[in-house]
Chains A and B, each alone.
Chain A
Amino acid sequence: MKPTLIESSRPGAGGAWVRDGEFPADAEPDLGDLPRRVTSLALPEVAEVEVVRHFTQLSSRSHGVDNGAYPLGSCTMKYNPKRHDANANLPGFRHVHPLQPESTIQGVLALLHALARHIAELTGVDEVCLQPAAGAHGELTGLLIIKKHFEKLAAKGGEKRDILLIADSAHGTNPSSASMAGFTCRIVATDASGLMDLDALARALEGGGIAGLMLTNPSTLGLFESNIARIAAMVHAKGGLLYYDGANLNALMGLVRPGDMGFDVVHINTHKTLSTPHGGGGPGAGPVGVKRFLAEHFPKPVVRLDAQGHFSLDDGMRDSIGRMKSHLGHIGVLIRAYCYILSMGPDGLREASQDAVLNANYLQHHLRGILPPAFDKHCMHECLLSGRSLPITPYSFAKRLIDLGIHPPTLVGAGCVYFPKHLHNSMLIEPTETESKASLDAIIAAFNEVNREACADSEFVNAAPHTGSTRKVPEGSKALDPRG
């Protein structure tokens, strides 16, 4: 473990760059009866070069898509174009204050307006809002829209609807978003073929009070929910709405659209499908699209275009759920998403999804000798493989991949996915479309190599990784430091 920067502190050595010839920093401002600080704060006190070296060294102990393969299922770790980063950093965007008069931010508003149209086209909805900060934030936004919709209907004598159906394979964000929006969750089981159990759905729909169903399609098991039209009809027949978790949209661009499948509310993750960098966990963006009848509930403010070509911000919507974020959203992220759509064009977007599905199937096919598919059929953009015949646990198997420069795939309990009990031994692998055939072949070779090693010397693999700055952290480790 590398010492923290504060351990190199030399009091007085910090902040040399903070100087102002006109306003020296020696005068104490007049702050009346407010309590002044007399002790010094535990911040590093070092020279600029020490900061640069420290954080550069830390970066060398981190792994991004720029470093190598990152087949982390459900996270769509595709290449993030540098061009788009550069465009997001143009001074004309970077130095805009969010509270400037509308007339002075027409470029920002024009971009947001166009991006919303493009995302509406991509997902098959009527209207899109760009305010949500991330996928989960989009879920909360979408669910509050559904809540508001049914409250408005209830005020006119409609049924009280506060039950939300959620697949047992759903991302953990689904039930937690539902709970934050005040819904009660009812879990719907997956059948033996990996799809939603329609009998279970029918039973879950009984008894009234159904606000809707949240679904990821392709599901977290990497499968396209072929019965989606029937599922939509069943939910709509009970007066419920269909919510699309767009975490897995990368399989479908230009091929099939959530709106056409019957979904009423859709969120997408720009940091997955639209190639904005994940930033070590964020920031992302979670645009939400809806069918027209729900748009009156969008968070405020909404970008409008008038007949004169002037963009404005409308915050006077009476039935809005209210504001979800301080300002207009993650503009720096949304600019990259916009650039991605323009760089790819309609054919490029479709090819990206086709290649994402091709790559996942290629891995599934060529790994089946050691990791048979959990469901024996073609997968979409990610494959769920069973680790039941491995000589060691999938956890230990995955850790050895680190030595070979490959980020481990998604395992149960790690990250945002959750698998039903009988799939607890599985790995979810999502190579994305930006891995070449050579890279995929290297991944396959690495998996086979680890399997051979595990058969020959399981102790060696169980103790991996053997390289890098840190040895294996056991599964389910508890924090040592009570401060957490």
Chain B
Amino acid sequence: MADLANYIVHLPSDRDAMLTSMGLGSIDDLFTAIPKDLRFSRALDVPAAMSEWALDAHLRALADRNATTRTHLSFLGGGMYDHHVPAVVDAIASRGEFLTAYTPYQPEMSQGLLQALAEYQQAIGAITGLPVVNSSSYDGATALADAAWVGRQALAMKAGSGATPVVIAAATLWPQHREVLGTYMYGRGVDLADLPCEAESGRVDLAALERLLAASSPAVVLVQSPNRFGVIEHVAKISEVCRRHGAITAVSWNPLLSGLLQVPGEQGADIVCGEGQPLGIPLCAGGPTLGFLACRKDLRRHMPGRLVGKVADIYGNPAYALVHEDREQHVAREKATSNICSNQALCSVRAAIYLSLLGDTGLRRLARIIAAKTQFLADALTRIPGVRRACGAPVFNEFLVTVPRSTETLARLLDGGILGGLDGATLGRPGTILVAVTETKTRAELERMAAAFAKAVA
């Protein structure tokens, strides 16, 4: 008898018994609907089945060809960061009851998953300061594109058939986020206007924002904080300008910033979105991560994606369920707020666990530790001759420095086992480096970076 292939459960005798029970002689009898001339007549040209140990060895060999934040000292950021992930997050998120479940369409069988997602929505509501949270968008970039469409649809409904709302995007969004936004708006047929930043501070140019809003029809304004230079935007001032012009303010926000600052919803943001990777999600070469999205209550009808809420069971007792599904693709079809179906649910569960482990106390402490380490390294690097801060405004977890021969500097650091940061050329600022710091870096490592940096610059 031939060996069973991996993950095949039927013995040949099982197949025979099943076919016989149906009055069939061969498995081929089930495929008669496929026209003969369309059938694939050879074996697939993929590698022969591997044993578990051969597969392991192959995957380890591939993994070993990558540098990581464990083999190298890394100061790379740019929207994703080398944060510590508590073991609890992995332990719970790898439980099969969560990992191998599907979307909780059957509330009676999925109360645990639904509640975990409800607690995710609650926690994101707390750190954004906005009441309606979806669970979830794909990543920070698509959440930003979602935010733009939520705002635009809300304005379009308010304006009626009159002026077409415009989307204004800060020039200091992550370049990848700006590109994804561009692709989504290309699909929707929406034009984007650019909001410049001040050269000196690195912040959004408020005077330019005034001029843009005065000249335009109703607008959604998208800003990011900290922005692509690591600079924290003054969300309260931006949203004040927007409010005066009847514009909607959407902010892409590093969730850890809520450990230090008034939450963006309280600063006047109407929509808050962001990359959720800092919330207990490993880097994993960029995905899967999490896009979080929160908005004001009156914008809920435009929200994309799943919403978990409370309903009543047949005895009137509260239960969790997916709610307000009339916005979603399986009900509204071409009129849906988005096409999203599969989302990042497991990453949302991770974020819920992570934020539960932090609490308000832990979040404050973590944000301060990161800020202190960032300040320490920024001070050390700017003591090096020729190295200075490129932007004047306050930063949180990363900063841009002007460096003679930046590309060469990074190459030399890499030779010494250090991923020194992002080349500013990719951010539209050649001659600079964006250096990110997380809580995982020790003083000795920060000092090693400073010493290596001084050598590399020289």
Contact = CB atoms under 8 A, between A and B. Distances in A.
B242 interface: no
Contact of A436 (B10, B38, B104, B115): B10
B8 A352 contact: yes
Nearest to B52: A83
Nearest to B184: A180
Nearest to B6: A343
Contact of B362 (A4, A17, A408): A17
A142 to B, nearest CB: 12
B200 interface: no
Contacts of B211: none
Max count, chain B CB within 10 A of own CB: residue among A32, A57, A343: A343
A133 B105 CA distance: 21
A18 B300 contact: no
A172 B267 CA distance: 37
Interface residues of B, number: 198
A4 B187 CA distance: 40
B18 interface: yes
A470 B315 contact: no
B65 A135 contact: no
Given A59-B98, A278-B101, A97 B74 contact: yes
Interface in B113-151: 113, 115-119, 122-123, 125-127, 131-132, 136, 138-142
B317 A471 contact: yes
A63 B97 contact: yes
A319 interface: no
Contacts of A101: 414
A155 interface: no
A29 interface: yes
A470 B313 contact: yes
A365 B328 CA distance: 34
B31 A139 contact: no
Nearest to B287: A330
A68 to B, nearest CB: 10
A34 B344 CA distance: 32
B322 to A, nearest CB: 9
Contacts of A293: none
A358 B375 contact: no
Contacts of A23: 369, 372-373, 376, 443
Contacts of B18: 358, 362, 437, 440
B49 A348 contact: yes
Given A61-B112, A172-B329, A352-B8, A228 B38 contact: yes
Contact of B309 (A147, A355, A484): A484
A392 interface: no
Contacts of A161: none
A331 B281 CA distance: 13
A23 B95 CA distance: 35
A48 B92 CA distance: 12
Interface stretch (A85-93, A198-206, A233-241): A85-93
A335 interface: yes
A120 to B, nearest CB: 10
Contacts of B358: 14-15, 18, 43
Contacts of B430: none
Nearest to A92: B63
Contacts of B373: 23
Contact of A15 (B98, B310, B359, B376): B359
Nearest to A226: B33
B261 A96 contact: no
Contacts of A57: 112
A314 interface: no
B157 interface: no
**10 closest pairs, A vs B, by CB?**
A15-B362, A14-B359, A92-B63, A327-B286, A66-B96, A345-B49, A98-B286, A279-B346, A61-B112, A107-B65
Given A97-B80, A347-B5, A358-B15, 5 more contacts: A72-B102, A97-B283, A99-B76, A279-B344, A282-B288
